[in-house]
Amino acid sequence: MKDLQKTDLKTMTNDISDGKYMLFFTADWCPDCRFIKPAMPQIENEYSDYTFLKVDRDENIDLAGEMNIMGIPSFVAYDHGKEIGRFSNPDRKTKQEVEKFIDSLKK
């Protein structure tokens, strides 16, 4: 998974304008983020049509604010620079819940 460097919403949207992307908002100190982290390589492999980008919420606090990301871990899907869905709440997320979210984007 690639790390998204510190950026703002306009720049990030422009940078991901070609293809499908899944933003994974996380932080090193977050226990719920550490819970889902081991499953992320499997999720990435299963959904290889997406480029997964790890977004350090603390490093990108302004971007998180611009995007109204209030809880982590959070997932935000983009298709050619347009947001197509998000799984963002303060709860711990399981591999199955993340997969269900990504599957729901195909409808």
What does the pLDDT read at residue 65? 94
CA distance 81 to 69: 17
pTM for the model: 0.93
Q: Give how far Cα 26 sits from Cα of 8, 14, 92, 107, Å.
A: 16, 22, 12, 27
- Mean pLDDT over all residues of the chain? 94
- Which of 78, 103, 98, 96 shows the shortest CA–CA distance to 87? 98
Of the pLDDT bands very low, low, confident and very high (cuts 50, 70, 90), residue 95 is: very high
Name the band, by pLDDT with cuts 50, 70 and 90, for residue 107. low
pLDDT of 28: 93
Whether residue 90 is predicted with pLDDT greater than 80 in this model: the reply is no
Whether pLDDT at 22 is above 80: yes
Q: CA 75, CA 22: separation in Å to the nearest integer?
A: 7
- The span from the CA of 70 to the CA of 68, in Å, is 6
- Burial class (CB within 10 angstroms; exposed 0-12, middle 13-18, buried 19+) of 1: middle
Query: Which are the catalytic amino acids?
Result: 30, 33
Domains present along the chain, CATH in parentheses: 2-104 (3.40.30.10)
Q: How far apart are CA 49 and CA 6, in angstroms?
A: 24
Q: Which of 90, 6, 98 is nearest to 50 (CA)?
A: 98
